[in-house]
């Protein structure tokens, strides 16, 4: 779309009858779309916009549009991943306020530093794959990733040695607690989302990145690439606390060494310290949401456009997050929520809606399985309100929940047009399928023509009989005043006219 078309769509006439776009309107559209003024993709755009007058001429607008043509067109024409982003954020805010009242659960106390956190903290952040962002609550507060580090550690292991990772770690839920002293029948950790599996992934990374300090620098660099402009830190106090209370993790590592699970040449203490370091990385929900969005975007950070992980590695990671990411609640979470996720005992949950968005939730109170109480409740309410479950597509248009990926009228228009086209073509199979999905067979197109109008006009006998059998209205007039019987007469098919006349007579009695 050229700049002139966009200009005409947004321009307003001033008192001199000049067509101008108020600068405030541009800012308003950007804000409602979830695009922030500090978005580096639009740095040149915003810097130039500051220098321009309050009302933009067509030349001013063309200059702006030329700085970020593709992204600006997406924003102004509502083609971002979540078109009505402000409405989605309003709904999410309502869910946040409901869940905020839940004060059940308790803090993790087996790591002393985690027991000191304010239990009332609650933050939610989202980042779409187009870089639309929104935050609620204590989103500037930093917390340790803990087990939310495991998906990234797994991706780093895949980047290091590829599919050979699964010679050392399985891909099945364990059915045990996350730190259970157990391996699968092959002598492997069950999956990378539990402690033994993450320790193993750390060992595999160390076969390529052997020096401990350089290895940690590499991991921090990759986290920062995932998080785009957001800060990634390290909590040394938690790291030391982890080391001092690590008997079970040491036991897991020695158990795996006894079973000869590790690759050769591994320094056990070095690998355990590396594991504790990964768990002690800290961020806020703003950063975690961007990390999650990088996974949702096939390994490409949406705020920088940088490919951080290979897309096939991300696919494997999301598969394991779906089946193993929520400790012993993973199966029920997949059943109820149906979104890849990973939780941690610091109260974080990293949620990934593939090709749509990443979400980060932080609330420190945990349930008996080690998941954030508020986090799980919010995730559940999210898929009760929105069509985010992996298998929601099987419900079709009969599902009346919101789909944030569609515009305000897109779903309804798509259904109506499909019905009308099927009726006009006499495609009874498709028509039955659409009606079975809950679509209104009395819906009309822009001319007010219903499927019955179109079936009569096309002379489609079987389609007519089906529409009559489900009780459609035969007396609806289109915008020209024509009723289905008028189209039947024009079709010249006496049998259609006769059947429709009998139906009209029957309905009037």
- Confirm or deny that 275 is annotated as ligand binding: yes
User: pLDDT band at 247, cuts 50/70/90?
Assistant: very high
- Examine the pLDDT at 2 and tell me if it is beyond 80: no
Q: What is the CA radius of gyration of the chain?
A: 29
Give the whole-angstrom CA distance, residue 55 versus residue 67: 18
- Examine the pLDDT at 1 and tell me if it is beyond 60: no
In a domain, 106, yes or no: no
CATH of the domain at 437: 1.25.40.20
- Examine the pLDDT at 252 and tell me if it is beyond 90: yes
pLDDT of residue 159: 97
In a domain, 49, yes or no: yes
Tell me the mean pLDDT in the region 193-215: 97
User: pLDDT band at 106, cuts 50/70/90?
Assistant: very high
Residue 269 sits in the same domain as residue 226: yes
- Examine the pLDDT at 397 and tell me if it is beyond 70: no
pLDDT of residue 414: 76
Structure confidence by residue, pLDDT tens digits, 315-360: 999 999 999 999 999 999 999 999 999 999 999 999 999 999 999 9
Alpha helices (H) in 118-261, listed in sequence order: 150-161, 195-206, 212-227, 236-244, 247-258
In a domain, 139, yes or no: yes
Residue 291 sits in the same domain as residue 231: yes
Give the whole-angstrom CA distance, residue 471 versus residue 13: 50
Residue 61 sits in the same domain as residue 209: no
Structure confidence by residue, pLDDT tens digits, 439-496: 788 999 989 999 999 999 999 999 999 999 888 999 999 999 999 999 999 888 889 9
In a domain, 481, yes or no: yes
In a domain, 98, yes or no: no
Residue 39 sits in the same domain as residue 151: no
Phi-psi region of 307 (alpha: psi -120 to 50; beta: other; left: phi over 0): beta
The fraction of the chain above a pLDDT of 70, given in percent, is 97
Residue 152 sits in the same domain as residue 284: yes
Structure confidence by residue, pLDDT tens digits, 156-196: 999 999 999 999 999 999 877 777 888 999 999 999 999 99
The owner of tokens 């639309």 is: 132
Residue 57 sits in the same domain as residue 172: no
* Domain span holding position 159: 87-93+111-387
The owner of tokens 């991991």 is: 219
Q: What is the pTM of this model?
A: 0.83
Give the whole-angstrom CA distance, residue 259 versus residue 403: 49
Structure confidence by residue, pLDDT tens digits, 8-31: 878 877 767 788 999 999 999 999
User: pLDDT band at 68, cuts 50/70/90?
Assistant: confident
CATH of the domain at 285: 3.40.710.10
Boundary of a domain, candidates 387, 420, 442: 387
pLDDT of residue 398: 57
Q: List Cβ neighbours of 70 (8 Å cut-off, separation of 6 or more).
A: none
The count of residues in the chain is: 509
Residue 261 sits in the same domain as residue 353: yes
pLDDT of residue 392: 85
Boundary of a domain, candidates 76, 102, 135: 76
Residue 166 sits in the same domain as residue 244: yes
Write the DSSP symbol of residue 162.
G
- Examine the pLDDT at 5 and tell me if it is beyond 80: no
Boundary of a domain, candidates 76, 101, 132: 76
Whether the CB-CB separation of 116 and 347 falls below 8 Å is answered with no
- Examine the pLDDT at 401 and tell me if it is beyond 80: yes
- Examine the pLDDT at 437 and tell me if it is beyond 70: no
In a domain, 295, yes or no: yes
Pairing of strands 143-144, 133-137: unpaired
Query: Into how many domains does the chain fold?
Result: 3
For the chain, helix (H) and strand (E) counts, in that order, are 22, 11
Residue 424 sits in the same domain as residue 479: yes
User: pLDDT band at 410, cuts 50/70/90?
Assistant: low
Whether the CB-CB separation of 456 and 488 falls below 8 Å is answered with yes
Whether the CB-CB separation of 339 and 316 falls below 8 Å is answered with no
- Examine the pLDDT at 396 and tell me if it is beyond 70: no
The per-residue DSSP string of 376-389 comes to HHHHHHHHHHBS-S
In a domain, 396, yes or no: no
CATH of the domain at 60: 1.10.238
Mean pLDDT of the chain: 92
Q: Name 20's bridge partners.
A: 12
Residue 229 sits in the same domain as residue 316: yes
pLDDT of residue 175: 77
pLDDT of residue 33: 95
Q: Which SS3 state, helix, strand or coil, does residue 46 take?
A: helix
Structure confidence by residue, pLDDT tens digits, 109-135: 888 889 999 999 999 999 999 999 999
- Confirm or deny that 172 is annotated as ligand binding: no
- Confirm or deny that 393 is annotated as ligand binding: no
- Confirm or deny that 249 is annotated as ligand binding: yes
In a domain, 397, yes or no: no
CA distances for 507 relative to 85, 246, 448, 504, angstroms: 45, 78, 21, 5
The owner of tokens 């997949």 is: 334
More confident residue, 4 or 208: 208
Give the whole-angstrom CA distance, residue 115 versus residue 279: 16
Residue 360 sits in the same domain as residue 280: yes
Residue 168 sits in the same domain as residue 257: yes
Whether the CB-CB separation of 380 and 146 falls below 8 Å is answered with no
- Examine the pLDDT at 411 and tell me if it is beyond 70: no
pLDDT of residue 478: 94
């Amino acid at each position: 779309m050229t700049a002139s078309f966009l200009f005409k769509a947004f321009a307003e006439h001033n008192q001199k009858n000049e067509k101008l776009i108020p600068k405030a309107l541009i800012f308003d559209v950007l804000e409602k779309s979830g695009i922030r003024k500090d978005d580096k993709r639009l740095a040149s755009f915003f810097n130039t916009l500051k220098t321009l007058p309050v009302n933009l001429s067509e030349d001013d607008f063309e200059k702006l549009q030329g700085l970020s043509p593709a992204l600006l067109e997406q924003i102004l024409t509502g083609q971002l991943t979540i078109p009505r982003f402000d409405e989605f954020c309003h709904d999410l805010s309502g869910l946040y306020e409901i869940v905020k009242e839940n004060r059940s659960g308790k803090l993790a106390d087996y790591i002393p530093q985690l027991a000191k956190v304010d239990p009332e903290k609650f933050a939610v952040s989202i980042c779409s794959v187009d870089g639309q962002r929104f935050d609620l609550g204590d989103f500037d507060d930093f917390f340790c990733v803990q087990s939310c580090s495991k998906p990234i550690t797994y991706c780093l292991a895949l980047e290091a040695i590829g599919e050979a990772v699964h010679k050392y770690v399985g891909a099945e839920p364990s059915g045990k607690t996350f730190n259970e002293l157990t391996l699968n029948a092959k002598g492997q950790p069950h999956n990378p989302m539990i402690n033994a599996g993450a320790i193993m992934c750390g060992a595999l990374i160390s076969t390529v990145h052997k020096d401990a300090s350089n290895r940690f620098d590499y991991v921090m660099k990759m986290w920062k690439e995932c998080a785009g402009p957001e800060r990634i830190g390290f909590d040394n106090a938690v790291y030391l606390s982890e080391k001092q209370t690590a008997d079970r993790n040491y036991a897991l590592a020695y158990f795996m060494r006894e079973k000869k699970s590790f690759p050769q040449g591994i320094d056990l203490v070095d690998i355990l310290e590396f594991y504790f370091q990964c768990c002690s990385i800290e961020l806020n929900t703003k950063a975690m949401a961007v990390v999650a969005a990088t996974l949702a975007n096939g390994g490409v950070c949406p705020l920088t456009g940088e490919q951080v992980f290979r897309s096939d590695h991300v696919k494997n990671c999301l598969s394991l997050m779906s089946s193993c990411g929520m400790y012993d609640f993973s199966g029920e979470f997949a059943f109820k929520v149906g979104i890849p996720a990973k939780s941690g005992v610091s109260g974080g949950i990293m949620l990934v809606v593939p090709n749509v968005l990443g979400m980060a939730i932080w609330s420190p109170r945990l349930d008996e399985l080690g998941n954030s109480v508020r986090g799980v409740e919010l995730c559940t309410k999210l898929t009760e309100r929105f069509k985010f479950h992996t298998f929601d597509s099987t419900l079709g248009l009969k599902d009346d929940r919101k789909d944030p990926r569609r515009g305000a009228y897109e779903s309804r228009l798509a259904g109506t047009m499909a019905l009308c086209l099927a009726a006009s073509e006499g495609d009874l199979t498709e028509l039955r399928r659409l009606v079975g999905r809950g679509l209104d067979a009395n819906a009309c197109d822009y001319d007010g023509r219903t499927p019955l109008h179109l079936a009569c006009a096309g002379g489609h006998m079987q389609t007519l009989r089906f529409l009559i059998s489900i009780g459609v209205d035969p007396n609806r007039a289109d915008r020209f005043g024509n009723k289905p019987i008028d189209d039947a007469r024009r079709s010249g098919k006496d049998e259609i006219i006769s059947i429709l006349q009998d139906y009209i007579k029957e309905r009037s009695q």
